[in-house]
Structure 1
Amino acid sequence: MKIEKIHHVAYRCRDAKETVEWYGKMLNMDFILAIAEDHVPSTHEPDPYMHVFLDAGDGNVLAFFELPTKQDMGRDPNTPEWVQHIAFKLADRPALIDAKTHLEANGVEVLGVTDHSIFHSIYFFDPNGHRIELACPDPAEDEMLARLNDVKWEMLEEWSRTKKAPRHADWMHAKELSEV
């Protein structure tokens, strides 16, 4: 078996219409499909839902479920909010800056631009509390990815043994840390 690509990624939302409109306005995603049922097809559980699908570009699909009979959404209290997120790729830094300007002009609080060396990112939350990252490649991305590729297995093995951050790729955030 070989996975071809992600078919779609699904999250829960508080309000399907609000979510579709927000992603359309803030991230220019087209609304491509809606499915609504009174029973879950896989489990046959009686549970009405609205399932909406958005075009995230290049054949990628982001989906949401609104579940009106379930308790309000929550987060895993043991996972920091910065950990669980979805990241979307933009073409370049000017597109990233334009996106940041657009989001802020529409009242969205944006963190960044954060320089991760291989890419640059901004972070914000959608109306459901899901963390979103927009990232663009650094012009030297290919060279830096090759450097990271050379040490990935050593880093994983060291982490597995020690549970301490290996220093093989300290260079990635050295510039950011020197600015603090």
Structure 2
Amino acid sequence: MTAPVKLQRIHHVAYRCKDAKVTVDWYADILGMAFTTAFSEDHVPSTGEYDPYMHVFLDCGGGNVIAFFELPNQPDMGKDPNTPDWVQHIAFEV
């Protein structure tokens, strides 16, 4: 039997956003997170499918990173209708 992989930490969590610049500005200005990286691609690396996107990363401190995808060619995203609103969130300790 193979032993399970020993995780060190979560590298990042990723969410969808409507506008990458507005999102980065808000998290930087309001929560003081440092913008670290952005890249855009026209094709999904795992599938090769054409689907342009922008992927941005912010440093939350303490080795924590949050990332966002701007997906301009995808339909608007909504909340999961089968999950209560109070469950769908991210919480920060400030």
TM-score by length of 2: 0.91
Structure 2: tracts of 5 or more residues without a match: none
Check if 1:53 corresponds to 2:57.
Answer: yes
Q: Which amino acid aligns with 1:63?
A: A
Q: Which fold has the larger relative contact order, with Cα–Cα distance below 8 Å and residues 6 or more apart in sequence?
A: 2
Partner Cα separation in structure 2 for residue 57 and residue 84 of structure 1: 23
Partner Cα separation in structure 1 for residue 85 and residue 30 of structure 2: 21
Partner Cα separation in structure 2 for residue 86 and residue 5 of structure 1: 18
Shift of 1:45: 1.0
Q: Which amino acid aligns with 1:70?
A: Q
Shift of 1:80: 1.2
Partner Cα separation in structure 2 for residue 22 and residue 67 of structure 1: 18
Q: What residue in structure 1 maps to residue 45 of structure 2?
A: 41
| 8 A Cα contact 2:79 2:88, kept in partner | no
Structure with more of its chain in strand, by fraction: 2
| Larger Cα-atom Rg | 1
- 1:76-91 matches, cutoff 5 A: 76-90=80-94
Q: What residue in structure 1 maps to residue 70 of structure 2?
A: 66
Q: Which amino acid aligns with 1:56?
A: C
Among 8, 12, 27, which residue is 2:12 paired with?
A: 8
SS of equivalent to 1:18: helix
SS of equivalent to 2:77: coil
RMSD of Structure 2 on Structure 1 (CA): 0.8
Partner Cα separation in structure 2 for residue 55 and residue 32 of structure 1: 7
Shift of 1:44: 1.1
Shift of 1:89: 2.1
Structure 1: tracts of 5 or more residues without a match: 91-180
SS of equivalent to 1:23: helix
Q: What residue in structure 2 maps to residue 136 of structure 1?
A: none
| 8 A Cα contact 2:52 2:71, kept in partner | yes
Q: What residue in structure 2 maps to residue 26 of structure 1?
A: 30
Q: Which amino acid aligns with 1:43?
A: T
Partner Cα separation in structure 1 for residue 29 and residue 77 of structure 2: 23
Partner Cα separation in structure 1 for residue 6 and residue 93 of structure 2: 24
Partner Cα separation in structure 1 for residue 77 and residue 29 of structure 2: 23
